[in-house]
Amino acid sequence: MPLFEGVTDVTQPMKIHLIAAARPNFMKIAPLYHALKRQTWAEPIIVHTGQHYDINMSDTFFKDLELPDPNIHLGIGSGSHAEQTGRVMIAYEKVLEKEMPALVVVAGDVNSTMACTIAASKIVYPSSPDRHAGSLRNDNRPIVAHLEAGLRSNDRTMPEEINRIVTDALADILWTPSPDAVENLLTEGVPRAKIMNVGNIMIDSLEMMRKKIECADAINEFGLTKGGYGLITLHRPANVDSPAILSTLCRMLIGASQKTPLVFPIHPRTRKHLDDFGLMDTLRDAKNIILSDPMNYIRFMNLVFNCKFVITDSGGIQEETTYLGIPCLTMRPNTERPVTVDQGTNQLCTIENLQRRIERIVSGGMKNHVVPELWDGHTAGRIVDTIRKLS
């Protein structure tokens, strides 16, 4: 039996909500938005939950990725996990009742991803002869699709892991970036028919913006040379919320910077803790560490393209560096993206072995690496084909 039965009203375009919430979501929805916008049968609508709201955590990404302003903005802002999740659910349920999209696309693993999935999975639209636009189901409910499904760190102390598990358990369609994600879902009992391995959509954004990234001038602005510096991003609670761990990390970075200059765009969570723990001045005094506010996509990627190595705890940067063949030192005990370690340039690091790993890279050591299958810049096209087949 097909997953969705033919109730499509072909006279109206299919209303598709693309949920954007936090910085790592924007690079995932942008290629899909652009690909859907070219289809006469689709009406993509960007819903921004407002989880990230600073200009340099949100607006600059919309501009760089050539996205219009969000059609709908929920203005949720910061809060505890339950507060943020609850506020998104309450606000998005009202939007669903009014807008009645046929398809809701959630991306990644942030709190808003899970919150919108729960709201959309439980909504039942009023039964009416004037059905919602381009409906795909015969039960008055939207289809929920998860973009970047199936990733697992198997570490439930990470809020993102909880968000991934709940989202994948509820979503109707699971678009995975790599075969390990397919395996994870099958192991959890997800029916094969719900899973489509479409590849990594972040690479679509990178390729879409490649010319602008290569022409950007961030490397010169900071007075750096190609291959002559390391780039740092740190924001995970496990690394930045504890004074003991964050101060040890700062000490390590200051030590490493004596041999190779480092650039450190600081995430708001990290900045707050550096200030609270009295570490900001120590970093400012380190003459080989360049500190900056969070950077926009194109200037930041210009620094990634040209650096010698990256030290990070981000998910997306592990993938971008694997694609670009740049060594990545991930300050985590595990990763939900094992393909970047097994096939790519990523190594999981501890405070104890970081220094040694940096020295090996600086002296020319490089692990063998390949670009994973379907990380080719054509993921959005494959997704559009799967949506078209639903209608």
Residues marked as catalytic: 235
Closest CB to ligand UD1 among 91 and 100? 91
- Burial code (b: 16+ CB inside 10 Å, e: under 16) for 7-37 equals ebbeeebbbbbbbbbbbbbbbbbbbbbbbbe
Contacts to ligand UD1 by CB under 6 A: 22-24, 51-54, 57, 78, 109-111, 159-160, 235, 267-269, 272
- List Cβ neighbours of 288 (8 Å cut-off, separation of 6 or more): 257, 258, 260, 261, 262
Q: How far is the CB of 223 from ligand UD1 (least distance, A)?
A: 27
DSSP assignment string, 151-189 = ---S-TTSHHHHHHHHHHHH-SEEEESSHHHHHHHHHTT
Closest CB to ligand UD1 among 146 and 369? 146
Which residues, listed in sequence order, are joined to residue 3 by a DSSP beta bridge?
A: none
**Nearest 10 degrees: Cα torsion 330, 287, 300, 315:** 10
- List Cβ neighbours of 272 (8 Å cut-off, separation of 6 or more): none
Closest CB to ligand UD1 among 80 and 128? 80
Among 5, 116, 124, 18, residue whose Cα is nearest residue 380:
18
Q: How far is the CB of 45 from ligand UD1 (least distance, A)?
A: 22
Which residues, listed in sequence order, are joined to residue 196 by a DSSP beta bridge?
A: 175
Closest CB to ligand UD1 among 268 and 381? 268
